[in-house]
Structure 1
């Protein structure tokens, strides 16, 4: 068993600042109060505040200019997909928008994979699909299912599709346990995904796209029901 991580004062402060930014208490484009005043307001030291600032700068929510101050970035305008896990933790409504992208990207990946997959990649897909049926427990089935989608992205021959796939999975990682619905029955999860892999193996791009659209729509429906 792994020990549970313990929150430090920096973790807590980072979370408070993040929420204050995302809820608009510190609006985009505004400068935060001077460090001493902000530290006093949160009841922390300036050193702790600087550590929290560093994390939020790295996350893309703040920018600091020496001699000027710390400003809240307009993440909606300048932010990247790496912010999605943070945004999902703040507001689960982001999940629906992520799933919309998941449907379109996933269908395109399946279509491309059907045309470009090598014999080795087709064999890899078949082995990974079998692992879905053999997995025990919803969490294990869900993780096995993810590996099939990573393999589909690799089979396109385009590394950007692989990164996009990783980004989408990472985006809903914070609430993954609530999205386990489609994976509680390994046989059913395997059957839903089998049509996608079969179409890719047959090299039928149109069938692969349709199968992926059907798979993604159905699993999305089940997952969203789990969030209600």
Structure 2
């Protein structure tokens, strides 16, 4: 009888060992699967970070390119303004010479007419560029600014991303400031009259039990 009980005990132990071994093998298989998934995800994460680094480098390259373009535009604008100023000075000088030439020509024409000679031809007939209308037209062309070309979408996206990032940082700072400015709800301890948290069951100073001013009412059971 004792041998049978011992045999049954061994069989139960063998059965338990088998069940635990099967369970252990299942966990081991899941563990291998999880590790494989973990390694794959780590590989993907490294690839994502490398791609993000390349994108950030491209972004900075575009930002630097945009900064250089703006610098060149500023230099060119200053150069154009200086050139327009020089042209205006030359135009005024040409106008003064034209004004000096006109009465002198009229005087010469009068002297020639007294001698029976023909009048000299007008400057505009000799050369069109010597007329004042030509210079006024040129001045209008000089002061006409060329239209600005559209900004590439990539640069627009970079600028928009920077503005969005700046706005998020400002919102985060404002939220943190607002959160810090809101004090926790407090109440006075009935024993020591010190300010404690409204939901504190015991006063941390005098260790007296604290009762809420607005205790929750017990729920009424429905009538049977």
Structure showing greater radius of gyration is: 2
User: Do the two structures share a fold, i.e. TM-score over 0.5?
Assistant: no
Q: Which one has more relative contact order, counting CA pairs under 8 Å at least 6 apart?
A: 1
TM range (shorter): under 0.3
Q: TM-score, normalised by structure 1?
A: 0.17
